[in-house]
Chain A
């Protein structure tokens, strides 16, 4: 149980284009979903927290107009990287918490490379 999927697992895009990453909770309802960014050999950096049907809460220093988050349903959240640049290249990981739960279940991550 508690499986979270991400799609795509990797993506290469050209500078200036937008990329959408999907995060789905497959066997539970996720009232809260989180988006992280991870640089090589580093810990996870929380980008934003989203609750179903509400606007996402972004961490300090994260550009909300660049990283658009939509939590449209209890099983789906999307992260859109708009006008991507090479410095946005990173490993993006989502996680989901079930209703009333404090634990987070993580997706397998998406490797984004911007050329």
Chain B
């Protein structure tokens, strides 16, 4: 079945530590890929996106993501986490031919220890 999987429901890291949030998708053709962040009680903010080209994508707030076709993954990374990064992170895809319709993963809640 076509799906987007975020294997980690909760992740806790210390401030200043590195971060990697995992995302896998199962679609026949490579979809368009996105990472969004949601602070409590807020809407979603687009961190970065991948359509084609360079597989390492730079986003806002110091985040980057790497597309790996062989692993059907689009993991989000940040070298040094700040306390303000505590939020819910959603991986999402627009399947090829999906008419802009976003399919979301379940989300990963990030907690940051001081």
Partner of A43, one of B34, B90, B94, B101: B90
A111 touches B100 (CB 8 A): no
The answer to whether B32 has its CB under 8 Å from any CB of chain A is: yes
Q: Collect the chain B residues with CB atoms within 8 Å of residue A105's CB.
A: 46
Partner of B104, one of A44, A49, A97: A44
A102 touches B94 (CB 8 A): yes
B43 touches A93 (CB 8 A): yes
- Which residues in chain B, 31-85, are within 8 Å of chain A measured between CB atoms? 32, 34, 36, 41-46, 49, 51
Cα separation A91 to B36 with both chains bound (whole Å): 17
User: What is the size category of the interface that chain B forms with chain A?
Assistant: 20 to 34
Nearest chain A residue, comparing its CB with the CB of B51: A102
Cα separation A2 to B104 with both chains bound (whole Å): 20
User: What is the size category of the interface that chain A forms with chain B?
Assistant: 20 to 34
B44 touches A93 (CB 8 A): yes
Cα separation A97 to B49 with both chains bound (whole Å): 14
> What are 9 A-B residue pairs whose CB atoms fall within 8 Å in the complex?
A2-B46, A43-B90, A43-B104, A44-B90, A44-B104, A49-B99, A93-B44, A106-B36, A111-B41
- Since A2-B46, A97-B100 are in contact, a sample of 7 more A-B pairs with Cβ atoms closer than 8 Å, ordered by chain A residue number, is A41-B109, A44-B44, A44-B90, A105-B46, A106-B44, A107-B43, A108-B42
